[in-house]
Amino acid sequence: MAAPGWWSAPWEADDDNDPDAGWASVPDADGEAWPESAGAASLDDDAILKPLEAQFGQVRSRVRVRDLAEVFTHQREVDAMLDQIPDAFDGLDVKFLEPSCGSGNFLTEILRRKLRLVTKAACVSKEHYEHRLLRALASIYGVDISPENIAEARGRMAHVVLEHYQTDANTVEPTVGFLNAAALILGDNVVVGDTLNAADQVELCDWRPAPSGFFQRVWSRSLVPIEERDLFWAERVQDAEPVHYSALVAGIALVKPKRRTTRSSQ
C-alpha cells in the first residue's frame, strides 16, 4: 500500500535504508523461517507489561475523574474522527501523537488500524513480522497528566498487539526479544506529562527503523515548537549504530539518557 501523498519516509523505496527491503527467508537456529509452536500461542497482556516497572496503579475512581476533568471519547466519535484521515493509515511509519491521551481510546484504535498493514502472509519470516509490528507500535505516542491513565493506555495497547499476533499468526510463539522491545517502546512512547503547562519537559524517542530488524533511537523534546527551542534544546542520538530489536533492552541501562522530572499541575 502506498504511503499518503503528504508524508514521505526518510528513505527511498528498496534502497539500502528501506526497512522493508532486502528481507529473505533466512532460517533461524531450528532451520525454519517461520518456526511454529506445538499449539496456538497463549499469552496475556502481562507478557509485555511485566518488563515494565510497576510504577502506576490501574484504579479508576470518580474522584480522579472529577479532579482531572476527564472527558471520555466514545468509540463512535473515535471512529468518525479517524475516518476523516484514511490515508494516514496507508503508511506503517506515519507518526501519531495524542497530547492528552487519557486511557488510550484514540491510541488503541490508531494501533488497530495500523496493524492491518502487518500480516503474517506478507512477511517472509517471524523476524520480519515482529519488526513490522514494532514499527507500528513505535510510531504512536501518547502523553497524559494522569499516571493511572498512562498505565491503562499501555495495557490496552499491549492487549491490541498481542491480540493481533495471536489472531494473525496463531501458531507462532512471539520471541522474548519482541515482547521486551514492545514493553520498552510502550514505556518510552506513552508517558506521563503536562503538554499544556510543561511541554518543554516531555521527552520522546524517535524509533528510526532500519533494515533487517533494527532501530536507531534519537531522543528529543519533540513537543517544543521549533521557534521556541533555546540553546539547550537538542536531539540526542542514543544509538551510534542501529540496534536489533531483540537487543534493545540489553543495553538500555548503559546508554539511556537521563530524563528531567516532568512537572504536573495535579
Compute CA distances 125 → 31, 111, 180, 213, whole Å: 12, 22, 19, 11
214, containing H or E segment: strand 214-220
- How far is C-alpha 80 from the geometric centre of its chain's CA atoms? 23
- Is residue 27 one of the residues assigned to a domain? no
The verdict on residue 56 lying in a domain is: yes
233 assigned to some structural domain: yes
Among 190, 205, 219, residue whose Cα is nearest residue 101: 190
* Interatomic CA distance for residues 134 and 86, integer angstroms: 21
Residue 110 lies in a domain: yes
Q: Which residues of the chain have pLDDT under 70?
A: 1-2, 14, 25-32, 37-45, 47, 49-72, 251-266
* Predicted confidence (pLDDT) per residue in 70-123, tens digit: 556 778 888 899 999 999 999 999 999 999 999 999 999 999 999 999 999 999
pLDDT score recorded for residue 89 = 94
Residue 120 located in a structural domain: yes
- Domain assignment of residue 72, given as a range: 46-255
User: Is 195 within a domain?
Assistant: yes
Cell numbers describing residue 207: 524509533
Asked whether 78 and 106 are in contact (CB, 8 A), the reply is yes
CA dihedral for 183, 64, 143, 255, sign (positive or negative): negative
Tally of domains in the chain: 1
Closest of 148, 75, 143 to residue 112, by C-alpha: 75
Distance CA 159, CA 46 (A): 9
**Grid cell for residue 197:** 503547562
pLDDT of residue 263: 37
Q: Give the list of residues 6+ apart from residue 53 with CB closer than 8 angstroms, or none.
A: 187
Within a domain: 1: no
Query: pTM for the whole thing?
Result: 0.82
Is 97 a domain residue? yes
